[in-house]
Homo-oligomer: A and B are copies of this chain.
Amino acid sequence: MPALTTYRTPVQEGWVDYNGHLRDAYYLLIFSYATDALMERIGLDADSRGQSGHSLFTLEAHINYLHEVKLGTEVWVQTQIVGFDKKRLHVYHSLHRVGFDEALAASEQMLLHVDLAGPKSAPFGERSVALLQGLREAQRDLPPAEFVGRVMRLPG
């Protein structure tokens, strides 16, 4: 099974710099929308229409920019479950386009399950845990995510 495709979009006009290339922050916006889509896959709310009363907050993100992306390019995000515990979900998003095998960017993220009534952190409900286990099981044979666990430093 391929990695889960969580989001697909053309690169929009408000997202590019004066050279017509996707600006660094907007790669992360695309990954943010992918996280919203992932939430719905595990029974959480990505917006105020939801009824679960729970959501995911981003605690931490690491992003590697691998290739430039031009205005209008159709891109999509694949999402891999790296791990999870009672309250936290560790995911790996990668950005892709047609006709290009390498990822355009990759982002490792740590997400916290939150009860919006607080808001305060809260354990995942049974249904979310089952859905997460199902996703992880389906991804068992995927190669390990390339840019996980990186430490940033100058070379040499």
Contact = CB atoms under 8 A, between A and B. Distances in A.
Interface of A: 17-19, 23-26, 28-29, 31-32, 47-48, 57-65, 83-85, 88, 90, 108-110, 116, 148-156
Contacts of A18: 47-48
> Chain A's interface: helix, strand, loop or mixed, by majority?
mixed
B63 A60 contact: yes
B149 A149 contact: no
29 contacts: A17-B47, A23-B32, A24-B28, A24-B58, A25-B28, A25-B29, A25-B31, A25-B32, A26-B29, A28-B28, A58-B65, A60-B62, A60-B63, A60-B64, A60-B150, A61-B61, A61-B62, A61-B63, A61-B65, A62-B152, A83-B154, A84-B154, A85-B154, A88-B155, A90-B152, A90-B153, A90-B154, A108-B152, A149-B153
